[in-house]
Structure 1
Amino acid sequence: MNINSIKSRLREMLSKERLEHSINVSEVARDLALNFGCNVTKAEIAGLLHDCAKDLDYKTLQAMIKEYNIKTDKLIYKIPKLLHPLVGAAIAEKEFNIQDSTILKAIRIHSTGAVNMSILDKVIYLSDKIEPLRNMEGVEEVRKIVWEDLDRAMLMVLDKELLYLISEGLLIHPVSIKARNNILNKVVYT
């Protein structure tokens, strides 16, 4: 499936705002992929599809977890925003016929991060956080650093997100903590 076909299909699935966000993520991902020698087409596709399940309600996401037999843990059900990446990867595979495991992984982990993320994984994770519509505190600093050092940018974003979750008294999935420690180890201790 080519980029234009994916966009056309997403127009039917997503709100106007979510589609704009996804296109922005795809464009930032393309530019970061070029900058870091990553496959540009994979970055564009993963960027477009990363939120393909985001507009689905919680009950639909739960049903699709069962329908697609997606392996997950009990904690994820207590953090509803973490369901859409899992379902999104399944939709990308089943409904968009994306068979590339690296694209599917980048979609699957774009909200939590993971240990030993690939360049593509980091490109999608960061593109989602820094695309032009995003305005989180410190985003401008991340937008500057990301072009020089993906790992430092990852650490900044993971730290900001973890601090936000703590300040709001929200659950943190252990995968995010492991992702942060893995990146910290690369940035500080090597």
Structure 2
Amino acid sequence: MIEFIKGTIDYITPEYIVICNNDIGYMIYTPNPFIFHKEQHTTIYTYQHVREDILALYGFQNREERLLFTKLLNVTGIGPKGGLAILATGDASQVVRAIENEDEKFLTKFPGVGKKTARQMILDLKGKLTDIASVPEQLEAQEQHSPETMTEAVEALKVLGYKEKEIIKIIPSIEEGLTTEQVVKQALQKLLK
């Protein structure tokens, strides 16, 4: 198991990032790839997912976020893609609070999470998430919205399972001057309301 990778971000897509460490590029799926910036030196905490037909690395900003991801994977009906979509809001404490308060309505707002899966999350995880602290948000430099920023944000939201018509509805309410990461976070917050 790879605990973490320290390196420089080489490439960013709506689904994954590539981090370069000792001349090796690691493709790592992350909840919101746009929290990272090209040429940024960072540490990614990883989870290696192995199945008979796939070997993939999933990456997170801290150990708490990774721990929540691994606990979500143990819930019937939630796979890696669903786990990433749940963590993409950037606020693990909000998810933990919803599980502890048995807030099915909040949990069913995530793509691919219906009432049955939300109930299963509550049954499986309630009372078992006390070791997960809130995930600190990183403050990023402001920039004006560019067509590239909005395109990247929309693609990232689609990868997480949201439909284009849902995304288009909330785009006008997104603040101006945000980075791609901030646009995705704000869009996710609005999609969860």
TM-score of the superposition, structure 1-length normalised? 0.30
Say which structure is richer in strand.
Answer: 2
TM-score of the superposition, structure 2-length normalised? 0.30
